[in-house]
Structure 1
Amino acid sequence: MSDFLTASVGFILAMLALGLVSILRGPGDADRMMSAQLIGTGGIAALLLLGTVTGVPAAVDVALILALLATFASIAFVKKGLSRLEVDSTDGT
């Protein structure tokens, strides 16, 4: 079972590498933010699997903190976009 989980971690890390390429080459800010969310989710999954395979409970704590930070990052991105939208709507009229 641990071999399967280790192979799953390798697959997730490969997907994270593809997400990093998407961040670097993304056409827009929203695409880059979605790729960053993918990396956050994949990082959480990799940490949870590694914590299960190695039996280190601290990895679960780090995964929970990463989930919290990813949530705050997406909220900050949306708030920034809303403030731009409000500025654009007041300038246009």
Structure 2
Amino acid sequence: MSTAAGATANTALANGAYFRANNSAPGSRATGTDAVAIGPSNVAGRNRSVALGAGARAINGQAVSIGAGNVASGNGAVAIGDPNIPYDSQPP
């Protein structure tokens, strides 16, 4: 896909009928393979991780973080709400 076509596609997505974005914070980062990060300052840091909200972080593989300030740090961990921070750890 050419740069012009990519820019047109991105503009169409950002201005579509069912999606709007208004953001003044730093953008999101999806650094893992097949990772998705949507919202300001989000991080989907490992393979197949998902971060959605504002400042959500899905740190390990297949982790899902939804909501403002949530952190899902365990492999396959899920955090939903404002904020939740589950960790992949054994009880004491």
TM-score of the pair, normalised by structure 2: 0.28
Answer with 1 or 2: which has the greater Rg: 1
Which is strand-richer, 1 or 2? 2
TM-score of the pair, normalised by structure 1: 0.28
- With CA pairs under 8 Å and 6+ residues apart, which has the higher RCO, 1 or 2? 1
